[in-house]
Amino acid sequence: MEYKTQMEAARKGILTEQIKKVAEKEGMDPQKLLVLVAEGRVAIPANKNHPGLEPEGVGEGLRTKINVNLGISRDCRDFEFEIEKARKAIEMGAEAIMDLSSYGKTREFRRKLVGMSKAMIGTVPMYDVIGHLDKDLGQISVQELLDVVRVHAEDGVDFMTIHAGINRKTAERLKNNGRLTNIVSRGGSLIYAWMELTGNENPFYEYFDDLLEVCREYDVTISLGDACRPGSIHDATDACQIEELITLGELTKRAWAKDVQVMIEGPGHMAINEIQANMVLQKRLCHNAPFYVLGPLVTDIAPGYDHITSAIGGAIAAASGADFLCYVTPAEHLRLPDLEDMKEGIVAVKIAAHAADIAKGIKGAREQDYQMSLARKNLDWEGMFKLAIDEEKPRKYRKSSIPEIEDSCTMCGKMCAVRTMNKIMCGERPTFE
């Protein structure tokens, strides 16, 4: 039986190799996963032109996945450095990489990235439009915008962020209500500017069915971008954000009608007390489609530490229903991240994702924590290092301050509570001299 997309296959009762592999990774009954994919509650982004992909599922009942952003820009054009970052991200367990390249030989870079990556690859075609076409934004035609989407699909991209929800009605809402930080989405701002310059409707909204035909042809998952995501906690949960979300829900149903898989993108910057309600609202308005969030950053006053503000919000968001977390690095709002920034961002988002999986009761999530606690009880330092999210940093700390006795650390020494209890529980007399 023939099929074009993972969703179409699932609706026909076909267990694809991708569904089987994801079910095995997640410890889920393949038939249960098939139902979730058929209903759109799980997406398996898997472009038919990405042969080296190790498929992952995003959505209900699955482990929270993480994404790493990278790419070349006018100020940072080093292909090999960005490819090195991609290799490191994959080594550290990132399930997805988004190529946000916006300048130069973007197609050459994108093809190289798809060719070397077992992780799913995402892009934002709107970022590529100006560099790829080498034209002024206002001079770019609708057909040229759609053609760039097809190019990305042909190159093997597994999911694309398309800012289809910011139509002229939402744009008018933004003008009438005002915002402290306006539109902070790069793709969203470009679409808004294009509409203002040309006087036309958002082409990704007006010609959404044409986009769906491209996505269906290559089995590209459409990640509906939130152009009106809040760029400050002041703007969170405002009329613009909610109106766009309603539109994204309508577009989700249209995509599913064509067997195209969907993810919904979310905030952004948001106070802690608003996060859970936003997750519930998104799931309701967008029919339980997988939710992909940037952060949310829970305060605006920590430049240089936004991997922490993001991890706090990400953990709460994922525990409340978000399925996919985009990492944020210490360099957010300041510069393109280097390797060390990227590593700090990945560790922070992995902590958030794992903490959320424990809260959600994801199968097997607590097992690593149990093993870590066992290693700590046994004062098994090597075991602790191997179980850590980041093995390198704890080894470095341990090596930098050697204790007098091996079964302790330099904070407590012979007064280590674990050491004392181990000895007492075994009938030995602890010594503190």
Q: What is the CATH number of the domain that holds 126?
A: 3.20.20.540
Residue 68 lies in a domain: yes
Residue 47 lies in a domain: yes
Residues 348 and 419 in one domain: no
Position 286 scores a pLDDT of 98
Q: How far is CA 392 from CA 373, 396, 430, in A?
A: 19, 6, 32
Position 104 scores a pLDDT of 85
Residue 20 lies in a domain: yes
CA–CA distance, 297 with 307 (Å, rounded to integer): 8
Q: Which amino acid does the sequence have at 183?
A: I
Q: Is 292 annotated as a binding residue?
A: yes
Q: Which amino acid does the sequence have at 287?
A: H
What tokens does 172 get?
A: 């008018």
Residue 1 lies in a domain: no
Tell me how many degrees the CA angle 290-24-362 measures, rounded to the nearest 5: 50
Residues 383 and 339 in one domain: no
Q: Is 409 annotated as a binding residue?
A: yes
The number of domains in the chain is 2
Looking only at the bridges linking them, the beta strands covering 324-326 and 291-294 are parallel
Q: Is 380 annotated as a binding residue?
A: no
Residues 170 and 202 in one domain: yes
Residues 320 and 386 in one domain: no
Residue 431 lies in a domain: no
Residues 262 and 235 in one domain: yes
Q: Is 77 annotated as a binding residue?
A: no
Mean pLDDT across the chain, nearest whole number?
A: 95
- 327, 360, 393: which is the final residue of a domain? 360
Residue with tokens 């199968």, as numbered in its chain: 363
Q: Is 228 annotated as a binding residue?
A: yes
Q: Which are the contacts of 311, defined by CB distance < 8 A and separation ≥ 6?
A: 328, 348, 349, 351, 352
Q: Is 265 annotated as a binding residue?
A: yes
Residues 271 and 393 in one domain: no
Residues 352 and 382 in one domain: no
pTM equals: 0.95
Position 79 scores a pLDDT of 85
Residues 324 and 236 in one domain: yes
What tokens does 354 get?
A: 């794992």
Q: Is 199 annotated as a binding residue?
A: no
Task: Pick out the chain residues at pLDDT < 50.
Answer: none
What is the percentage of the chain residues whose pLDDT exceeds 70?
100
Question: Is the Cβ–Cβ distance between 419 and 407 less than 8 Å?
Answer: yes
Residues 379 and 283 in one domain: no
Tell me how many degrees the CA angle 30-42-107 measures, rounded to the nearest 5: 115
Residues 356 and 378 in one domain: no
Residues 33 and 62 in one domain: yes
Q: Is 218 annotated as a binding residue?
A: no
Q: Which of 62, 127, 130, 60 is nearest to 99 (CA)?
A: 127
Residue 432 lies in a domain: no
At 204-238, the pLDDT tens digits run: 999 999 999 999 999 999 999 999 999 999 999 99
Partners of 159 in the beta sheet? 122, 221
Q: Is 69 annotated as a binding residue?
A: yes
What tokens does 341 get?
A: 């920034």
- 360, 394, 417: which is the final residue of a domain? 360
CA 333 to chain centre: 18
Q: Which of 90, 93, 26 is nearest to 60 (CA)?
A: 26
Q: What are phi and psi of 9, to 5 degrees?
A: -60, -45
Q: Is 185 annotated as a binding residue?
A: yes
Residue 88 lies in a domain: yes
Position 91 scores a pLDDT of 97
- 303, 336, 360: which is the final residue of a domain? 360
Q: Is 54 annotated as a binding residue?
A: no
Q: Is 333 annotated as a binding residue?
A: yes
Q: Is 227 annotated as a binding residue?
A: yes
Position 77 scores a pLDDT of 79
Residue 430 lies in a domain: no
Query: If DSSP states are collapsed to H, E and C, what string results for the chain?
Result: CCCCCHHHHHHCCCCCHHHHHHHHHHCCCHHHHHHHHHCCCEECCCCCCCCCCCCCCEECCCCCEEEEEECCCCCCCCHHHHHHHHHHHHHCCCCEEEECCCCCCHHHHHHHHHHHCCCEEEECHHHHHHHHHCCCHHHCCHHHHHHHHHHHHHCCCCEEEECCCCCHHHHHHHHHHCCCCCCCCHHHHHHHHHHHHHCCCCHHHHCHHHHHHHHHHHCCEEEECCCCCCCCHHHCCCHHHHHHHHHHHHHHHHHHHCCCCEEEEECCECCHHHHHHHHHHHHHHCCCCCEEEECCECCCCCCCCHHHHHHHHHHHHHHCCCCEEECCCCCCCCCCCCHHHHHHHHHHHHHHHHHHHHHHCCCCCCHHHHHHHHHHHCCCHHHHHHHCCCCHHHHHHHHHCCCCCCCCCCCCHHHCHHHHHHHHHCCCCCCCC
Q: How far is CA 291 from CA 223, 278, 296, 323, 381, in A?
A: 9, 11, 12, 5, 38
Q: Which of 141, 137, 95, 101 is nearest to 118 (CA)?
A: 95
Domain that holds residue 335: 6-360
Residues 378 and 323 in one domain: no
Q: Is 382 annotated as a binding residue?
A: no
